[in-house]
Structure 1
Amino acid sequence: MLPTHPSAARAIHRADYRPPAFWIDTVALTFDLDPAKTRVLNRMTLRRNPAVAAQALRLDGEDLSLVRVLCNGAGTSFRLEEGVLVLEKLPSDDKPFELEIFTTCTPVDNTRLMGLYVSQDTFTTQCEPEGFRRITYFLDRPDVMARFTVTLRADRDRYPVLLSNGNLVDSGPLDGNRHMATWEDPFRKPCYLFALVAGKLACREQRVVSRTGKEHLLQVYVRPADIEKTEHAMQSLCKSVVWDESRFGLSLDLERYMIVATSDFNMGAMENKGLNIFNSKYVLAARATATDADFANIERVIGHEYFHNWTGNRITCRDWFQLSLKEGLTVFRDQEFSMDLCAQPSARAVQRISEVRDLRTVQFAEDASPVAHPVRPDSYVEINNFYTATVYEKGAEVVRMMQTLVGREGFAAGMRLYFERHDGSAVTCEDFLRAVSDANPGSLLATRCAAFERWYSQAGTPRIVVSDHYDPDAATYTLHLAQNCPQCPGQATAAPFVLPIALGLVGARTGAALPLHPQSEIPGRQDGDSLLVVLDQSQCSLRFEQVQEPPVPSLLRGFSAPAIVQYAYSDDQLYTLLANDTDPFNRWEAGQRLALQHAVAVITSGTGTGDTGALSGRFLDAMRGVLRHPGLDPAFKDLVLTLPSEAYISEQLDVVDPQRIHAVREAMRTQLATALQEDWQWAYEQHGDNGGYRFDPVSCGRRALCGLALAYLCLAAEVEQAMQAHPVWPGKAYQRCKDADNMTDRFHALSALVHSGNALAQPALARFYEQFRSEELVIDKWFALQAGCNDRGGQVLSAVRKLLQHPDFTLRNPNRARSVIFSYCLHNPGAFHRVDAGGYVLWGEQVLAIDAINPQVAARLVRAMDNWKKLAQPYRDGAFDALSRLAGKADLSKDVRELVTRVLAD
């Protein structure tokens, strides 16, 4: 029985979209900044929308104190309805009129970190999606675009830096040791792109000249103590500017472009026009405090937010249902940026594999859960809950398929047409699709444009079911492809998707790439030893001639569509692909399938957690061959030799026993560690000395493989110690924790000790903490490592409860809350899912605690229970009880209540 509550919020439906009754042309905001009482004077020029029947003006507002309302300089009647300011007696014609609204708010008490708030004595804003209504009354919707002028006034000593969107047009002193700055944004924008920052900040500057010959000022603002950690962020911004000009012809359109880092931020970053506000973890980097992953994430996220300047800012969303219009497209653009920065094809392949691994772990699980939704949802209660992997990562795959179907140059032509048609407008996902299609008449996309739209309206991950037949006498080979999509919430069936499928054939005897000779013309195109075909019906068959040996199909090369391939590969076929496939993605995929097949077979056939099976000698030899292969990139080896995650293994099962999955995977890791011990030692010694720290694909790959080797060597050492041997590798790892000249190597060593459960882990953790206790981002790693560590003996839950009491822990900082609670509940299934339901109890406690402070972060934590219905007993009952207790609480935010209701729904 699903608990209900009368406070459940009303759902918003895409079908109910109506244009606004009023347009706002200009906005002049004046802020008198004070943490306890900020005064906001909002002068707007509005006019009626002649396309909409006359009605009252309804302005959104939340947690505001209203002081006065004037229309054309005179008082006017108004009323407040559940936070909405309603004005009916306004000019009846369509001529512009001025509305003045004076309000106050209390930024220091704004723990939700939405709207205007104070973080470490710095004023900061976050307005996407609906935070601007916490600053002033406004038409808080993305299709209302206005030109903003902003004047900031504040104490000169406490807030010497005053920033807002656009160009600085005036500044100077005021009486009483105060000062002011006025900023003018020359471009129309929706209010969710508004930003202001005021505080004591240091600035790194660099001037660049665009291809148009214009000079631009780039600035990165941080706390003064962090200024030395901003060089990589600035270089990433410069690369982003150059790449967008060269790849898409999109130049920086402002005199200056600013980035500000803050420690208290719900998201990764925000693309406010010309004034991007970032979570500090995506700005600050030095080799002593940031890992290779941190450097890569900074480069990617800075690129992402800069690329939003055009795909999201210059053209924005008509409504929030179109969120993937900007986010899916811009994720695709940042992925292309990261790949284009890779000079070697192998590095590009590693980048692509990493993207797909994350997609399949997170988004595929979302598609298989009660909260599954299309890339463009049809309804929501709280829009914050749709900032999901489906909207972002699957949305990016939808855009990637467009490029696959029209080609790289064709896609660039589609982007040009998109801006010619819609620059300065708020549009829909279909508008982008049509621009790409219309720019490429006769293409594989243009002829299927209407069917391709289903990617935006249908939920679920398509299955491509493949069968085949080889006729050695006729030397022909037939592939039969069929597609289906599992039932999703609110979607019993799905029409066929448009699936671009890149494939090739590999000789089963020789391992050679086989020439492709389609028997008849197949809609698609051929590129070397790969053929791109489009499956847009329920099924189709392909026949190839002159196939001189039994082929092994290499399917969905490069992961050309976000789908699951169901083909009964034999072990022999997978070993052939692992050793020979010219497509790096499918070479990696073959190794993953081999490991996955073993794990699933043992999990589903075993009788208890102690029955964990044994990896075959052939698999171990194959992994040894990959590790020792002289022609493979170290980063690629690291990916192949990393077993599928527990979360991804869970996705292959109808009934999930988390403890069983954890035990089997750990047994597989231990077998790899012990059987390949000499090989791991070789890998560590070959890749352990890289000279001075450099952030580049080759160096990062060497460090990654070295770290993996050390993790396996420490794991093998635990087996030796159990046999009363005297292993040396934990001591070497401890020494590396002390002596490493960069955080990547240091943290790899610390992780190896912690995850192997070695006795040296505790002194290493204590030493690490003392060394970096003043570096908050490093201490986040320290917390996360302990909360996410291998649960030997069921001790992680008690360790997490102790971490929650640590003097450096606080729920008010989202990064710190995520470092402990999210690391345990979302990323450590073997420890979180306990027979006694203790993990679920902690989860419920923390959802409630965070919800009282920051509902957006609390709602993210709810997602740990997305797939509770797949759990085996007794986990399933424990999860249901925890969810039901939470659903019965009277004071849940609408963010949390919406997700709990959807997760519990039948």
Structure 2
Amino acid sequence: MYRETPHPIYLKDYRPPEFLIEQVELRFELDPEHTRVESRLALRRNPAATRGDGSLRLHGEQLTLMQVAIDGHALTPAEYRVDAEGLTMHRVPDRFTLETQVEIHPSLNTALEGLYQSGDMLCTQCEAEGFRRLTYFLDRPDVMARYTTTLVADRTRFPVLLSNGNPVARTDLEDGRHSVTWDDPFPKPSYLFALVAGDLRAVEDSFVTASGREIQLQIFVEPHNLDKCDHAMRSLKKAMRWDEERFGREYDLDIFMIVAVSHFNMGAMENKGLNIFNDKFVLARPDTATDVDFDGIESVIAHEYFHNWTGNRITCRDWFQLSLKEGFTVYRDQEFSADVGSRAVKRISDVRTLRAHQFPEDAGPLAHPVRPESYIEINNFYTTTVYDKGAEVVRMQAALLGPESFRRATDRYFERHDGQAVTTEDFVRCMEDASGRDLTQFRRWYEQAGTPELSIQSKYDATAGTYTLSVRQETAATPGQPVKYPFHIPLTIGLLGAEGQALPVWLAGESAPPAPGTRLLELTERAHEFTLVGLTERPVPSLLRGFSAPVRVRDDLSDADRMFLMAHDSDGFNRWDAAQTLHERLLLALTDDADHPIPEDYIAAFQRALRDPSADRALLAEVLTLPSETYLSDRMTVVDVDGLHRAHRQLTRCIGERLRADLLAVYHDSAETGDYVFSPEAVGRRALKNLALAYLVRAEDGEGLALCRAQFEAAHNMTDVMAALRLLTEQGGAAAEAALDAFHRRWAGESLVLDKWFAVQAAAPRADALTRVMALLHHPDYSARNPNRVRSLVSTFSNLNQVRFHAADGAGYRFLVGQVLELDPANPQLAARLLKPLVRWRRFDPERQRLMRTELERVLGSGELSSDVFEVVSKALA
């Protein structure tokens, strides 16, 4: 908690550590109330660092120091100083062994950083700076050491004791305790340390690597969850094989372990050899988890496994380089998901997330570069900019280099920097060295915040047979960066003829036309003009195919052009994007004018898509889904909350009424047959069926409502059950209450399923939404100590129920701030993330601005705040 204004930490102030740690020996005597931690560190002065005053400063928080000794000599109080943030020893040798003993209290650790209690188990979360809550240490990512860890605990209460590396010794002690010693042969930073102790069971399997080594695979869960691990294990084995084939990366230890915990601030953590997961990204059965859950598990399992090389074997020099590991690993998990599923649908999903979350972040007071220049609290930089835009930056480099050069570049990166803590500059230099390309200008993607906007104008000259594209890039000012320089932008395009056929993208000056298809153009100046030749008809351009750069595009395409692209473009992403733009334009027009006509050709295009028997069901479901009210609000200069909601309901109702017969046909044609299957085809079929049902129910169609009730009662998979429950809850009334009661009775013992029950009520845009949410805070199954439960209720309401959260009386704002202030003393990370819906208060009408600002000022004036919350609020009000 802060009493004075916290001071920022700056990238420019980075200095190598004065000391390095070669070997770490840890002994934990584990107990929820009082855990004793003995540490033995082999330290030496760093020859690459500037010599200081001879003292050593170690990080440490919430530790009770019992003993401290150097080379066996116990220090007197005059030889060291302890404060709230660490331990300072006044004079130390150039090489020595430091021994400390501290006491910590896991059961009191509600922040879920360091060692804490989750249910009946003990576990750790050390990224970013949680290790300093375990023992005194140089808790920074550029200090890498080998670890040997001994865990001692009651044999009955904690029969399973896990840590990083390989187990090397097990001993039963006479006092009813036992110990297990783990040795990790690979140097790692402290943030990758982990331990778990509990009464757990393991689902086991094995994997044979490309070189013939057999790896033991274990997923540890509480006993009642053993039947929900099959999908996670299959996902892990797929990810291991894919990483060998795509990036040439083989696993290195003899054992790979995953542990599912119910109390976790994030999704998962890639600790070396011992991944600790939020249980929502491990546990799944068809009757307890939706298609979205199955997809999320597959993706997150892969992401954390891929970190073994992109984050563990090679890690960050400092936390400003966070995207070095996260951006690259997100890119890798996106490519994995695209290869094992539908590439077009995966790209749509990723871009939807980017546009809904990262673009607004880039346009708001919390905007920051992919490689930030400063921070107050590093936990606040686990953002969509660092992760998702960081992945786009890697994707652009892959596009500019081409597949072969990019593979050479990543091979060089792994070979050159294995075992090192490095920077984004080191990564880009490998791209340059492997390809011979100069990426100096491209580095601006790491250095400049903001989303570039491309203005693209076209002109066809029938006489000359030319088509000219004039492209201009502009990037708006962001906090601390009023002037923006041109980015290096890969722009992929295609041209379509009158019959939808691909045309060559033939640039003036080239001797021969290329093959028809996609062409990559490179933008390096503020303005470019590309003249395309050899065209006997005006083409329809397919711009930014595959979303080749994280930019906004303003072009001069007509609605007719977009309907043509929606029907004919071979690029699945651009088919979806054309449809989204049509939806968006119509919804914004209806927001401005409720009497704006809904064009017949729009409804006709919708109908043609529904009737296309050859359509990819998954892609069709994406194309026919309207953009969310939250996304549309980002497209308005001043957000019209109520107008957007009305327009969304109006268009949805119109589609449901006008296309009733087609929607019913799609619903019945997509009916589930046989057992649940998680495959791209089956997921797409369920998505399209439930989309058709949603249009019917929201149009208050009698048959649609009957089908919805029947689906809820009869469905055997959670995807269909939740789709029906969501629609019934939106409608309200006796049927909704009966369904909610039945669902709760059925799943009262399943925490992750109950999260869905809370969330579906929080998201329903009913007039009583806030009253219901506030009542649910007092429900016996609600717990503010469980981040998943808080997110399911409070975060769902404030982020997804836009019309009720932004109610004109400001009650939603007061509710959210009340929750933030209650949570901040216990869990600052969670509290700070809850605040994000208030950050862009300047985008709303004057009265809502006043109400939101008042609540933000209430936070700032409330007394002691965590640095996490202080940083978010102070930037929002700046």
CA distance in 2, matches of 1:39, 1:521: 73
71-80 vs 128-137, which moves further: 71-80
Alignment gaps of 5+ in structure 2: none
- Residues 847 and 862, structure 1, Cα contact 8 Å, conserved in 2: yes
Q: SS at 1:748's partner residue? A: helix
1:528 CA drift (Å)? 3.7
1:201 aligned partner, one-letter code: L
1:657 aligned partner, one-letter code: D
1:752 CA drift (Å)? 2.0
1:98 CA drift (Å)? 0.3
**Equivalence for 2:255:** 256
1:353 CA drift (Å)? 0.9
Alignment gaps of 5+ in structure 1: 721-726
Matches within 5 A, 1:147-546: 147-342=146-341, 347-441=342-436, 446-447=437-438, 449-507=439-497, 509-521=498-510, 528-546=516-534
1:770 aligned partner, one-letter code: R
CA distance in 2, matches of 1:692, 1:549: 51
**Equivalence for 2:824:** 851
Going from structure 1 to structure 2, the CA distance change for 1:20 and 1:521 (only over 3 Å counts) comes to: farther
Going from structure 1 to structure 2, the CA distance change for 1:227 and 1:427 (only over 3 Å counts) comes to: same
**Equivalence for 2:9:** 12
User: Does residue 648 in structure 1 map to residue 631 in structure 2?
Assistant: yes
651-660 vs 391-400, which moves further: 651-660
- Residues 256 and 274, structure 1, Cα contact 8 Å, conserved in 2: yes
1:739 CA drift (Å)? 1.5
1:658 CA drift (Å)? 1.3
CA distance in 2, matches of 1:113, 1:207: 31
Identity of aligned residues (%): 49
Deviations 1:135-180 (A, max 9, x none): 0010010000000000000000000000000000000200211100
CA distance in 2, matches of 1:265, 1:527: 51
- Residues 525 and 532, structure 1, Cα contact 8 Å, conserved in 2: no
Matches within 5 A, 1:687-726: 687-716=670-699, 718=700, 720=701
Deviations 1:715-755 (A, max 9, x none): 22x2x5xxxxxx13323222221221111111111112123
**Equivalence for 1:861:** 834
Deviations 1:870-892 (A, max 9, x none): 10132111111111111111111
Deviations 1:374-427 (A, max 9, x none): 001000000000000000000000000011111122211111100111100000
CA distance in 2, matches of 1:359, 1:690: 35
1:512 aligned partner, one-letter code: Q
CA distance in 2, matches of 1:665, 1:147: 57
Q: SS at 2:263's partner residue? A: coil
CA distance in 2, matches of 1:788, 1:857: 19
CA distance in 1, matches of 2:543, 2:514: 14
1:758 CA drift (Å)? 5.6
**Equivalence for 1:723:** none
**Equivalence for 2:86:** 84
Match of 2:19 among 17, 22, 26: 22
CA distance in 1, matches of 2:751, 2:523: 50
CA distance in 2, matches of 1:877, 1:521: 59
- Residues 458 and 556, structure 2, Cα contact 8 Å, conserved in 1: no
CA distance in 2, matches of 1:119, 1:235: 26
**Equivalence for 1:139:** 138
**Equivalence for 1:53:** 51
Deviations 1:533-585 (A, max 9, x none): 10011111111112111222211000000001111221111111111112111
**Equivalence for 2:62:** 63
Deviations 1:634-669 (A, max 9, x none): 111110111011122111111112121111111111
**Equivalence for 2:107:** 108
229-238 vs 707-716, which moves further: 707-716
1:865 CA drift (Å)? 1.2
1:67 CA drift (Å)? 0.6
- TM-score, L = length of structure 2: 0.98
1:58 CA drift (Å)? 0.6
- TM-score, L = length of structure 1: 0.95
Match of 1:32 among 29, 37, 42: 29
CA distance in 2, matches of 1:547, 1:773: 65
CA distance in 1, matches of 2:513, 2:129: 45
CA distance in 2, matches of 1:554, 1:248: 31
- Residues 56 and 91, structure 2, Cα contact 8 Å, conserved in 1: no
Q: SS at 1:597's partner residue? A: helix
CA distance in 1, matches of 2:615, 2:765: 30
CA distance in 2, matches of 1:834, 1:790: 11
- Residues 613 and 664, structure 1, Cα contact 8 Å, conserved in 2: no
2:830 aligned partner, one-letter code: V
**Equivalence for 2:551:** 563
1:894 CA drift (Å)? 0.7
Deviations 1:467-517 (A, max 9, x none): 12111111111111110101111111211111000001223x433322322
Paired positions, count: 873
Q: SS at 2:707's partner residue? A: helix
Deviations 1:746-798 (A, max 9, x none): 1111112123446411111111111011111000001001001123xx21111
CA distance in 2, matches of 1:761, 1:322: 48
Going from structure 1 to structure 2, the CA distance change for 1:472 and 1:756 (only over 3 Å counts) comes to: farther
Deviations 1:44-75 (A, max 9, x none): 00001123213321100001100111000002
1:116 CA drift (Å)? 0.2
2:680 aligned partner, one-letter code: P
CA distance in 2, matches of 1:526, 1:807: 66
CA distance in 2, matches of 1:836, 1:122: 44
Match of 1:887 among 839, 849, 860: 860
Match of 1:775 among 739, 750, 756: 750
Going from structure 1 to structure 2, the CA distance change for 1:840 and 1:252 (only over 3 Å counts) comes to: same
1:709 CA drift (Å)? 1.1
CA distance in 1, matches of 2:832, 2:606: 41
**Equivalence for 1:548:** 536
- Residues 192 and 271, structure 2, Cα contact 8 Å, conserved in 1: yes
- Residues 680 and 713, structure 1, Cα contact 8 Å, conserved in 2: yes
CA distance in 1, matches of 2:609, 2:353: 22
CA distance in 1, matches of 2:837, 2:641: 13
1:80 aligned partner, one-letter code: V
CA distance in 2, matches of 1:888, 1:516: 59
**Equivalence for 1:728:** 703
Q: SS at 1:453's partner residue? A: helix
1:903 CA drift (Å)? 0.6
- Residues 690 and 699, structure 1, Cα contact 8 Å, conserved in 2: no
Going from structure 1 to structure 2, the CA distance change for 1:525 and 1:807 (only over 3 Å counts) comes to: farther
**Equivalence for 1:825:** 798
1:700 aligned partner, one-letter code: V
1:17 CA drift (Å)? 0.1
Going from structure 1 to structure 2, the CA distance change for 1:303 and 1:689 (only over 3 Å counts) comes to: same
What CA RMSD, in Å, does the superposition of the two structures yield over aligned residues?
A: 1.5
Deviations 1:203-247 (A, max 9, x none): 011121111111110100000000110011111111111111111
Going from structure 1 to structure 2, the CA distance change for 1:21 and 1:898 (only over 3 Å counts) comes to: same
2:792 aligned partner, one-letter code: S
